[in-house]
Amino acid sequence: MKPVSLNRLRTSLLNAFVFASTVVARPLLGAAAEPIDDWPYYGHDAGGMRYSPLTQINRDNVGRLQVAWVFHTGDISDGKDRRKRSGFETTPILVDGRLFLTTPFNRVIALEPETGKRLWAYDPKTELAWDYGDGLINRGVANWLGRVPTSEKSGAAGNRSRRRIFEATLDARLIALDAETGIPCPDFGIGGQVSLRNIPRYLPGQYHMTSPPTVIDDLVVVGSAIDDNSRVEMPSGVVRAFDARTGALRWSWEPLPPNSSGSAPDSSSKVWRTGAANAWSIMAVDPERHLVFVPTGSASPDYYGGLRPGDDRWANSIVALRAQTGELAWGFQLVHHDLWDYDCAAPPLLATLTHEGKEIPVVIQGNKTGFLYVLNRDTGVPVFPVEERPVPQSDVPGEASFPTQPFPLAPPPLVPQSVSADEAWGANPGECDDCRNRLRALRNEGIFTPPSLKGSLVVPGNVGGMNWSGYAFDPSRSLLVVNVNHLPAKVRLVPRAEFGDRKQRLEKGEYAGQAGAPYGLFRNFLQAPSNLPCSPPPWGMLTAVDMVRGTIRWQVPLGSMQDLGGSHAAVPQGSISLGGPIVTAGGLAFIAGTIDPYIRAFDIETGKEIWKTQLPASGAATPMTYRTRPEGKQFLVIAAGGHAKVEEEPQSDALVAFALP
């Protein structure tokens, strides 16, 4: 899996609406009436635009927002017992006048949306002690409204509409709950659940689910999260679709061809072994075209590809699958033969753009490189040109890096893709010298510098560019709002014999086995003794991209890392962030996600920060907003639990709702 393979941010982070939706805004009678609006998908609509037509909260009054209610889940793990540290990363959905959210322990909770009062809670009794590489995390649920038997228990003749809530659990189960009661649907699978463990090379804990499934054409589609850097032959990254009524498997799609059997995909005699290339992020669907858009991650192991020659298609890709069959409609690979953990971590976003005088349905897909690709939704053909350019080649024995990579000509990269020693940053002259010397010691040829035995600078690093936070699209302005990270990393391949000698592990960072490969892995994020990054600030930015012109409209520092790892003298603005933005017709972009515990509002026209307020802990999640009644208030909701990978950071279990007084 791939959100961010960090152990600790202190020692391993910085050492470690255009698109059709099944639920739309419901305008009130009268020309000046305010709309009401649900939030039925993780990204608001089926295509994941994260755009709300609500305007009650706007640029003129956002400064008056105040806490309306707080709900505490009770589910926190500090990582000090047999369980991993938890992160509260859920984005609730709102349907049928109810909020539905998940906790880090996979409990599903229904709330009354105007008061935060709990209506019901369901506990799937997830195996919390298993070693989930990404910690205890779940980002939400999906919903389905369909015709089911009048009596689900008896299967009696006749049927009626019934809303179901679907969750994919950390211990690899797909669960269907009655939205009204929270009771498992007995005619779905066995007792309301389907096992997701029956895949090639299944490994308990290392194969898990953190993202919500998606629903289309009475099917529930689910991917998986698979641990990084553990071994060569990791579990299959299969994507599967199940009948939303019965739980029966309808189709499976494998991102990589069958391998590990002694036959290579290029018909050579070389054994081809790998796994993963899994879809651990959020998927998008197009109900009109009956397509599922799947972002995939890297093939295993992440930093050595000698046992998986070629481009490793369809790893590191955005693919369109036919909803009824799972057949590949088209695919586009963003990184060939990935050696940098450059997953398609950000969800795909479906929109309609005006390009060269024509309205074109598109898929927008970014990744950790900082590149943003705009593809025709029907064909996968780039709307803005993409060219294959030569890139630095590996000097590691046994490795054959791919000779070229796809560079979009527009929009430009959203983050720096190179850092020289002369650009090293430090809080004082001594730290600056330390960072400069460390950079000089690394192989450093800009983006796509391959891992090496001496150590290579990977920029952006594996938390850099666009991560699972994703982006939001304002259709009235054709602006894409996205938070990006600027955090280079050192990556070194360690020969197996040396890797086995723990006495040689003198440098702080992550040591990962990559079992079955001739090399283990060492990586850390370049940081000074103060724990702040060695790369020049800002380390995190909020960016608005003009998707008609393919240009950056504005880019501003996002948040602060002033208090990371202890007290510092004043540091420049800009924080690493995990948790994405939403945009509203009120002219606002809302986002939390930063290391500092704030949620903020920005003027979407200018990028000016016009409101912020402190949360109980960092909001490492994407917010959502809704208004359920004509006379009701617009609410803004964010999960504030702290970052799962930042062990020094305070934790919370608070779901916080804001509204105007």
Q: What is the 3-state secondary structure (H, E, C) of 264-280?
A: CCCCCCCCCCCCECCCC
* Integer Cα distance of 476 and 191 in angstroms: 45
Please state the φ and ψ torsions of residue 319, each to the nearest 5 degrees. -125, 150
Which tokens hold the place of 235? 């579990």
* Integer Cα distance of 68 and 169 in angstroms: 30
CB 481 within 8 A of CB 471: yes
* Integer Cα distance of 144 and 317 in angstroms: 27
Farthest CA pair distance, the chain: 78
Amino acid at 452: S
Which tokens hold the place of 440? 């000089």
CB 281 within 8 A of CB 224: no
CA atoms within 13 A on the CB side of 146: 19
> What are the residue ranges of helices labelled H in 336-495?
429-440
CB 486 within 8 A of CB 535: yes
The DSSP string of 318-339 is EEEEETTT--EEEEEESSSS-S
Choosing from 45, 286, 341, 474, the catalytic residue is 341
- Backbone angle region of 79, left / alpha / beta, with phi > 0 → left and psi within -120 to 50 → alpha: left
* Integer Cα distance of 435 and 204 in angstroms: 40
* Integer Cα distance of 541 and 576 in angstroms: 8
* Integer Cα distance of 406 and 511 in angstroms: 30
* Sign (positive or negative) of CA dihedral 262, 342, 651, 97: negative
CB 633 within 8 A of CB 56: yes
Beta carbons within 8 Å of 631's beta carbon, 6+ residues apart: none
* Integer Cα distance of 44 and 92 in angstroms: 10
CA atoms within 13 A on the CB side of 341: 30
Strand partners, 144: 164
CB 176 within 8 A of CB 193: yes
Strand partners, 349: 364
Of the candidates 646, 529, 475, 659, the one whose C-alpha atom is nearest the C-alpha of residue 78 is 646
Which tokens hold the place of 487? 């955090």
* Integer Cα distance of 171 and 10 in angstroms: 28
| Secondary structure percentages of the chain, helix, strand, coil, to 5 | 5, 35, 60
| Residue 30 CB coordination number (10 Å) | 8
CB 566 within 8 A of CB 557: no
Is 596 a catalytic site residue? no
* Integer Cα distance of 652 and 658 in angstroms: 17
**Catalytically annotated residues:** 341
